[in-house]
A = this chain, B = another copy of it.
Amino acid sequence: MRKSRTETAETRKHIVATASRLFLARGLAATGIADIMAAAGLTQGGFYRHFESKEQLIAEASAAAFDRLFGMLDSTVTGKPPEEALNTIVTLYLNQCQEANPIYLCPLANIGIELRHSDKEVKAIAVDGYERLVRLIAAQTRQLGIKDHTRLAEAIVSAIVGGVTLSQLALDRATATAILTNARHAVDALLRAALQGGASSTRRRSGK
């Protein structure tokens, strides 16, 4: 039953794609190798022809999820003026779990805390994804002429990751939507504050 090289490569990609979907939807611990292989239309024995361990698949699936998400965000945003682009990114990010068939889930908001005690390689992928998200948003805030554009971008990322995480704890959709709406207001407020104070202000903070 040996497959050709291109078929093998496609199978591998298919497993990673299936895994990234299941891991993000159900969590790492709750998703088994057999689940993934069955969902991919294969039997579990074949798994180790492609991967050394579940941990390796977690790493690749996370990376794939980030690539998919940023691919979508990049292409959606390209050519748009920065304010509209920023608005679109935040909307798409906050609504990631509300879609009928969510395919652009972010590992940070969906399995972030589960990656905490993973291999360094896996954590490095999560950190890289975080930095990509910050850069994508900072690219917009920079074009808006905001002085501390990276700092604002990091603040926005905390707010939207926190919002999506918290919204998933809600027992009903209305509560989830309310939490997301509020995270959106937080982003708007942060942006307004930065646009007003942006060019001149030296950042102040209240004492520790």
The residues of A with any CB-CB pair to B shorter than 8 Å are: 26-27, 29-30, 83, 87, 91, 108-117, 120, 123-124, 126-127, 130, 151-152, 154-163, 165-166, 168-171, 175, 179, 182-186, 188-190, 192-194, 196-197, 203-208
Asked whether B154 lies within 8 Å of A182 as measured between CB atoms, the reply is yes
From B108, B171, B189, A190 is in contact (CB under 8 Å) with B189
A-B contact pairs, 6 of them (CB 8 A): A154-B179, A158-B159, A158-B186, A161-B162, A162-B162, A190-B190
Q: Smallest Cβ distance from A156 to chain B, in angstroms?
A: 8
A113 to B105, CA, bound (A): 13
Asked whether A175 lies within 8 Å of B30 as measured between CB atoms, the reply is no
